[in-house]
Amino acid sequence: MITYSSIRFRFFSLLLVGLFYSLSPKSELFAIDGLTRNANNARYEGLAGTNTALGGSAIDVTLNPANLSLKKGRVLEFGFTNSTINTRYQDQFLDKDQKNIYSNDVKSTLNAPAPYIAFKTPITDNIDYGVAFYVPGGAAGGVDKILRNTPNGQNTNEWSGLNLVSPLGDSRQIRESNSNQFAVVKLVNGISVKFGNLSLGASIEGLYGYQRLNQKYYDVTGNIEIPGQGYYYESSKKAFSLGGILGANYTVNDWVRIGYSYQAHSSLPLDGGYTIGVNNPNYYRKTGVSYHFNLPEKHSLGFAFGPEGIKLAIDFVYSNYGSYLRKANQTLEDPWLPTPLGNIASADAHLNFRDQGGVQLGLEHKLNETWTYRLGYSYNNLLIKSNGLGGTTGGFFSIHHVFAGGFSYTFDTWSIDLGASYNAPRNKIYGGKGTDWDLSHAIKTGPTEFNGLGYSYNAESTFLNVTLGATKKFE
C-alpha cells in the first residue's frame, strides 16, 4: 500500500540521488551550454530568473544578498537542474575543383545536470547570514568528425606524412573533431543588514573553474586518427578566484519593493598545459600555458508589486561581456601549437562577445497554504553574432526568448519546488568571414592561390531547463 509518507520518502530519495549524481566525478556536471543560466534554483526557474526585488529564497545570497532579510527564520534549499541542449551545426565549402567541395549537417543533444544547495539563518533581529554552493553555468560545444579539407590543400598522405592505401591517402578531405568544455563552480557567503525598510547586503564568492579543449583529425572515413596532428589543452587544478556581490532592497509599502544588485568582475587563472602531436613520438610536445578567463560585471535593477499572496516582478539586467571577452589570450611557453599558418606560441581566440542586456518578468501566485504557481518570461539580446560563432561555441548565443513556469507544493515545514524554462524560437546564426573558425577552414588551392571565400557555416540551439528542488523551514 502506497502511503503519503512513502511518497514523500521516495521524492526526497530521488532528489538526493540526483544531487549526489550531479556531484559525482563521472557526471556531466559542468556540461552546461550558455555562459550563465537565467536561474539558480527551482523557484526562480519558474520565474525565468526574476529575483532582484522579489527575493525570499536562501539562494538570494548568490543573487541579491540584501534579500536574505526578507525570509524569516532558518531556511535550507537544495536541488538540481537538468539542461537539455539541442544544437545543429551546418557548413559547406565551395570551390571550382569538385574534389574540394563538401558539406556537413550535424545535430546533437546534451543532457547536463547541475546541483545547488543554500542555507540562510538569522544572526540577530536585523542581520541574516547565507551560504550557497551552485553551478552558475559553463559551456560544452564542439563538432564530431565533420568533413573538411586538409589545412594546406594537399592529399591526406602528403599532409600527414602517412602512407594510407588508396583512395584514403589520395583524398584531400579528412575528418575533424573539436570540443570545448568550460565550467564555473561557486561557494558564496554573505550577510544582509536591515535598517527599517532598507536592507543592504554583501557576499564573497569563491570561484573554481576549469576548461578543456581538444582537437583531433581522422582520415576521410573517420576511422583512423591522424597521429602528430591536433592538440589537447586542460587547465590546472588550481583555478581559484574571488568575487563579490553587493545588493540592496527597499520596501516602499506593502505593495511595492525595489531591489538592486551588482556582481563584481572576477578573473579565473586557467593556466595549464597543451599536449601537441598526440600518438606520434616525432611530433609529440607538451608545454605550459598562461591564460586568464574574465567574468564580467552584472547589474540588476528590479521591482516587485502586489500583496503578499500575489507578486508581479520585473528585472532589468546588464552584463558587460564586451569589456572582457572580446579576445581570450593563451600564451604557450613554447611555439608548438599547430595552425594552417605554421606553429605558433600564442593561442588567441577572438570570442567577440557583446554586452548583454535583458528584461525578466515573473508572476508568483499563492493559491492557498499548499499550492503556489509561477510564470515567467525573459528577453536577452544575443551574446554573440556572426563574428563570434565557431564550431565549439556551443549554446552561448541561444539565450534569447525564454518562457518559464513552475509550482511549489507545501506540507508541514517542507515544500517541493519545480520549475522549467524553454528557450525558443530557434536562432540561427550565420558565421562571419575572417573569424578564427572561418580562417582555419580556408585552404591553399595552388602555389600562389588561396580560397578564403568558399567556406560558410551556421549554427542554432535550443534549451530546456528543468529544476527540481526542496525547501525546508526551521521554526
Span 56-107, pLDDT tens digits: 999 999 999 999 999 899 999 999 999 888 888 999 999 999 999 999 999 8
Total domains, the chain: 1
Q: Which amino acid does the sequence have at 424? A: A
Span between the terminal Cα atoms of the chain, in Å: 32
In degrees and rounded to multiples of 5, residue 323 shows phi and psi of -75, -20
At 55 the three-state DSSP class reads coil
Q: Which of 42-51, 137-146, 192-201 comes out lowest in average pLDDT?
A: 137-146
Please state the pTM of the whole predicted model: 0.88
Q: Is the pLDDT of residue 12 over 50?
A: no
Element (H, E) at 9: helix 4-23
Q: What does the block give as the cell for 273?
A: 598545459
Residue 203 belongs to domain spanning: 4-474
Give the number of C-alpha atoms closer than 13 A to the C-alpha of residue 49, restricted to the C-beta side: 27
Name which of 109, 137, 111 is nearest 34 in CA terms: 137
Interior/surface letters 170-199, b for 16+ CB within 10 angstroms, e for the rest:
ebbbbbbbbbbbbbbbbebebbbbbeeeeb
Burial of 427 (0-12, 13-18, 19+ CB in 10 A): middle
Q: How far apart are CA 271 and CA 329, in angstroms?
A: 11
Q: What average pLDDT does the segment 288-306 reach?
A: 94
Q: How far apart are CA 184 and CA 136, in angstroms?
A: 7
Q: How far apart are CA 19 and CA 36, in angstroms?
A: 20
Q: Would you place residue 123 in the very low, low, confident or very high pLDDT band (cuts 50, 70, 90)?
A: very high
Q: Where are the alpha helices (DSSP H) in 300-363?
A: none
The CATH number for 62's domain is 2.40.160.60
In degrees and rounded to multiples of 5, residue 98 shows phi and psi of -60, -25
Q: Give bridge partners of residue 444 from the DSSP assignment.
A: 450
Residue pLDDT, tens place only, 444-455: 777 777 788 899
Q: Give bridge partners of residue 52 from the DSSP assignment.
A: none
Residue pLDDT, tens place only, 203-229: 999 999 989 989 999 999 999 999 878
Q: Which amino acid does the sequence have at 366? A: K
Highest mean pLDDT among 384-388, 418-422, 434-438: 418-422
Q: How far apart are CA 364 and CA 368, in angstroms?
A: 12
pLDDT (0 to 100) of residue 341:
64
Q: Would you place residue 1 in the very low, low, confident or very high pLDDT band (cuts 50, 70, 90)?
A: very low
Q: Is the pLDDT of residue 19 over 50?
A: no
